[in-house]
Amino acid sequence: MPSDTISVTAARNGLRGTICVPGDKSISHRVAILGTMASGTMQVRNYLCSEDCINTLRAMQQLGAKVEPGDSPPNFTLTGTGMQPVAPQHDIDCGNSGTGMRLMAGMLAALPFNSRMYGDASLCSRPMKRIIDPLALMGADIEACGKKPGCAPLLIRGKKLTPVHYDLPMASAQVKSAVLLAGMMIPGETSVHQPAITRDHTERLFEHFGIPCTTSEDGLDITVTGPAAPIAKDITIPSDISSAAFWLVAGSVVPGSEIRLQNVGLNPTRDAIIHVLRRMGADIEICNRVDCGEPYGDILVRHSSQLHGTTIEPHEIPNLIDEIPVLAVAAAFAKGETHIRNAAELRVKESDRIATTVGNLRAMGAHVQEFDDGMIITGGSPLHGATMDSYGDHRIAMGFLVAGLNATGETTLQHCASINTSYPGFEEQMRSLII
């Protein structure tokens, strides 16, 4: 477990080394869910053993999935239920994870029993109406029982659902996936139209597990034909590009750095952080690229003294939504203005990431203007260390520890235990890179 308060000072001689960041969070949740519905047994390699994904795996065990240790952690063997899960004996704890709760809701809504999902204070304040609405159109009965309207805990009374064509009101892979997972369970064609391309891990895993699913040429319309039981097939999960992003930024901004990141997922719906950092002048090289179901490769990042600001295009936002806090840190070290707009979704993440990012950047002396849907950062002046809250948000904690690696004085982040929701071992890897 990371300690709740972590302090760093500038890495004066740079960050150097080769590391392998943990498995992809989005893919891990989906593998646990689809593997549970699958007929047969599969080897799962490089599953993300973080709190979020362990919670999803435990939930799946309650539904009857069998998990046995593999050759070495974090690998394991998963035996599915062949679309015949059993009713959970206990309420399902989703912890901090919006992905876990929203994706499982799609599947649970179509099962012939009742279930109840709950989470921590952050998760219980995040909007669930966005998945309840489309699932209700399919006939689902989901009650949001939280203190805040439309929020968790969720009581799901399983029903026979009917297919739907749903126009997503926001670019959300979680909402898209909740509808597609429900569609997988029921007879007929269920389709979604998304206003912008979002991460397509569900669709790629559908293909891996033999579930009939098509995507239109422009990538905006996806159709699944059910009922379709996933066919168990071994899988190796690539390292999470959202976790690698902390080192892409740290390596770019800290003088003297050279970091190699191994086997990082390079899915084109997730790689905008690489394109945006390169546009800002970062020195990032991709080696040993392997193009398969989920493409991956090694990434080599070296310090760049030439970083400059950029404008993030609206279509890039869903592709790097989770990387925006650390991208904002990069922007604070880059000369000129960086415009991050059309990103109001950040307000409903694990924390209000516009408010928490802007507040912490200002605490370190950066110039930032806040907008309802984003921020403009005027970078290039040195940052100074500060004591900051991470607001229990893993990406705020890690993003501002990275800022501290290039700031004067000491930087202290409070409430860092949340790092364990996505990146166990972050602090150890950070210390191992400092020379």
Residues at the interface with ligand S3P (CB under 6 A): 26, 99, 172-174, 177, 198-199, 321-322, 345
Nearest-angstrom CA–CA distance, 387 and 112: 50
Cβ pair 182, 190 in contact under 8 A? yes
- For the bound state, the minimum distance from the C-beta of residue 176 to ligand S3P, rounded and expressed in Å, comes to 7
> How many angstroms separate the CA atoms of 339 and 269, rounded?
21
Q: Report the residue number, 271 or 283, with the smaller CB distance to ligand S3P.
A: 271
Per 3-state DSSP, the chain is made up of helix, strand and coil in percentages (nearest 5) of 35, 25, 40
Residue 281 sits at φ, ψ, to 5 deg, of: 100, 10
Pick the closest to residue 235 from 23, 422, 31 (CA basis): 31
The residue among 304 and 420 lying less far from ligand S3P, judged by its C-beta, is 420
Is the peptide bond preceding residue 227 cis, with omega within 30 degrees of 0? yes
CB of 198 to ligand S3P, least distance (A): 6
Residue appearing with tokens 């309840």: 132
CB of 416 to ligand S3P, least distance (A): 18
Q: Which is nearer to ligand S3P, 100 or 230 (CB)?
A: 100
Residues contacting residue 274 through CB under 8 Å, at least 6 positions apart: 241, 248, 266, 284, 286, 299
Q: Which is nearer to ligand S3P, 160 or 315 (CB)?
A: 315
Which of 307/340 has CB closer to ligand S3P?
340
- Judged by CB, which is closer to ligand S3P: 177, or 243? 177
Residue nearest to ligand S3P (CB): 26
| 3-class SS string, 31-58 | HHHHHHHCECEEEEECCCCCHHHHHHHH
Question: Scanning the structure block, which residue is given the tokens 């498995």?
Answer: 23
Angle, helices 25-37/173-185, rounded to nearest 10 degrees: 10
Complex with ligand S3P: residue 62 or 174, whichever CB lies closer: 174
- Going by C-alpha positions, the residue among 105, 79, 270, 278 that lies closest to residue 182 is 105
With tokens 């806090």, the residue in question is: 325
Smallest gap from residue 123 Cβ to ligand S3P (A): 12
Residue 69: is it exposed, middle or buried by C-beta count within 10 angstroms (0-12/13-18/19+)?
exposed
* Cβ count within 10 A of residue 289: 11
- Give the shortest CB-208-to-ligand S3P separation in angstroms: 16
CB 205 within 8 A of CB 30: yes
| Active-site annotation holder among 120, 283, 298, 322 | 322
DSSP for 327-385, please give it.
Answer: HHHHHHHSBEEEEE-S-GGGGGSSS-HHHHHHHHHHHTT-EEEEETTEEEEEE-SPPB-
- Nearest distance from C-beta of residue 239 to ligand S3P, angstroms: 15
Contact between 95 and 169 under an 8 Å Cβ cutoff? The reply is no
Q: How far is the CB of 102 from ligand S3P (least distance, A)?
A: 7
For ligand S3P, give the closer residue by CB, 79 or 174.
Answer: 174
Q: Is 322 part of the annotated catalytic residue set?
A: yes
Shortest Å, Cβ 130 to ligand S3P: 8
User: Cα(385)–Cα(412) distance, rounded to whole angstroms?
Assistant: 8
Nearest to 119 by CA among 158, 151, 87: 151
> Smallest distance from the beta carbon of 205 to ligand S3P, in angstroms?
11
Active-site positions read 322
